[in-house]
Amino acid sequence: MPQTDPKTIKAQLRKGELKNLYYIFGKNIPEVEKLTKQIIQAAVGDNEEFALNKLDGRYLDTSELYDMIQMMPMMSEYNCILINDYNCEKPRENMAGLRSDDLNKKLLEVLKDIPSQTVVIFNVTGFEIAVKTDYKTGRSTIKDKNKKLADLAEKVGELVECPIKSENELAKDIAASVSARGSLISLDNARELAVMCQSDTLTIKNEIDKLCSYAGNGEITADIIRNLVHRQSDVTFFKLADAVSAFNKRAAFEALDELMQDRDNRGAVLANITASFIDMYRAACARKCGKQVADVKADFAYVWEFKVKNAFRDSSKMSIRRLRECIRILRDTNITLNSGGCDEKTVLEQTVTKMLMTKN
C-alpha cells in the first residue's frame, strides 16, 4: 500500500476500516498524537484498560511483544498495542553489547504475521526521523534505518506522515476551530495567526483558546491578535530584516529591543539575525537565476514556506551587493562578540546601525 495521509486514515476509521499495522511519524507531533488516539478509539473504544498495551520503544522486548500480539482481545473486538518512539537507529536506551541490526531483524520477524484480532501502532513523537522530501509530490522518503520498519507498515498496513501544514491549510483549520467555539475570524487574520505562531499547531491551539475566551461570540480582529498573541521570535527576526531592507530605522530598533527582551542568550539573537539575511541572500540569488519559492524551499530543505516567502519579499528591496555587505557586518559582529568582554546590546545596536547605512 502507498504512503498515505491523516485525512485518508480518518476516512477509513469512519468506515470502520482498521489495519493490523500502523507507522505514524512527521514534524506535526500534535497531529501524530491525535491520529494515534483516533486509531486506538476505533480499535478498543472505551476499553483501553483491558484491550490496550502501551510500550516504550526504548525498552522494547520483542519476546514480550510477540506474546502480546498473539493474545486474544478482552472485552473488545481488537487487541491494540501502542509502541512509542522505537528508533531503529538506536533500538535500546543502553546498547552495550547489542547490535541495532540484530534487534531490528527480530522485531520485523515478530511483525510479519500479525493476527487479524491485533492492531499494532508505532508512533514517533520524541525523535526526528531523517527524511528526503519531494516538495512537488509532498511525499517524504525515510533515509535512515527506520526505513525497513516503515516499508513493512507500508506493505502490510499503513505508513502515515503528519507534515506541518501550510499557512493556507492552517488558516482554514483555525477558522473552523474558532467557529466551533462560537467566535469569528477572517481567513486573512487566521493566516496571520498561523504565521505569528510559526505554524506550530500546539501553539496555535493555545492561542485560539485564549482568543476565543476574550472575543466570546464576537469577531477576533487583527487588533485583538496583535494585542493578545505573542509573536514568535523568528517572526521578529524577519521584522528586523524587513526594516533594515527598507531603511526603516525606528522599526529596526523596535524589533531589536523586542528580541533582546525575549532572549537570555544574545549570541542566539545574532545567529538568528544572520540566518534571516542568509535566507534573503539565497532568495535574491534564486530570483536572479529565475528560480521560485518552491525551488528554494526544496533545495535548502526549509520546513516553513513563510520563511522563504518573507525572504523573497524582503530581498526584493536589496541588491545582492548590499546583502553581501550586511552579512559581512554580521560576520564581523560575531567575531567581536566572541573575542572578549563587551556589551552585547550595544554591539548589536551598532551592527544594526551599520547595516542601515549600507547602500543598494
Residues 209 and 123 in one domain: no
- Distance (Å, whole) CA 152 – CA 128: 19
Residue 84: pLDDT band (50, 70, 90) is very high
Does the residue 95 lie in any domain? yes
Residues 203 and 181 in one domain: yes
Tell me the pLDDT tens digit for each residue of 218-240: 999 999 998 888 665 555 676 77
C-alpha cell belonging to residue 354:
551599520
- Distance (Å, whole) CA 56 – CA 338: 42
Domain carrying residue 191: 167-228
Is the pLDDT score of 216 beyond 60? yes
Residue 145: pLDDT band (50, 70, 90) is very high
pLDDT, greater one: 241 or 312:
312
User: What are the angstrom distances between the C-alpha of 236 and each of 159, 215, 351, 352, 358?
Assistant: 37, 25, 17, 14, 21
- Distance (Å, whole) CA 117 – CA 104: 24
Residues 243 and 190 in one domain: no
- Distance (Å, whole) CA 228 – CA 235: 16
* Threshold 0.75, pTM exceeds: no
Does the residue 77 lie in any domain? yes
List of long-range contacts for 89-95, beta carbons under 8 Å, 24+ apart: 89/144, 89/145, 89/146, 91/57, 91/60, 92/58, 92/59, 92/60, 93/58, 93/59
Does the residue 312 lie in any domain? yes
Tell me the pLDDT tens digit for each residue of 190-210: 998 888 777 777 678 878 988
- Distance (Å, whole) CA 167 – CA 198: 9
Residues 260 and 178 in one domain: no
C-alpha cell belonging to residue 41:
478509539
Domain boundary among 161, 177, 205: 161
Asked whether the beta carbons of 91 and 60 are under 8 A apart, the reply is yes
pLDDT of residue 340: 74
Span of 20-29, 83-92, 241-250 with lowest mean pLDDT: 241-250
Is the pLDDT score of 264 beyond 70? no
Sign of the four-CA dihedral 345, 348, 349, 350 = positive
Residues 287 and 344 in one domain: yes
Residue 1: pLDDT band (50, 70, 90) is very low
Residues 152 and 38 in one domain: yes
Tell me the pLDDT tens digit for each residue of 2-13: 578 899 999 999
Domain boundary among 161, 196, 211: 161
Residues 342 and 269 in one domain: yes
Is the pLDDT score of 320 beyond 60? yes
Tell me the pLDDT tens digit for each residue of 41-55: 999 999 998 999 999
Residue 335: pLDDT band (50, 70, 90) is confident
Q: Please, which residues have CB within 8 angstroms of residue 312's CB and are 6 or more apart in sequence?
A: 283, 286, 287, 293, 296
| Other CB atoms within 10 A of residue 47 CB | 16
* Number of domains into which the chain is organized: 3
- Distance (Å, whole) CA 65 – CA 62: 5
Grid-cell match 528508533, residue found: 87
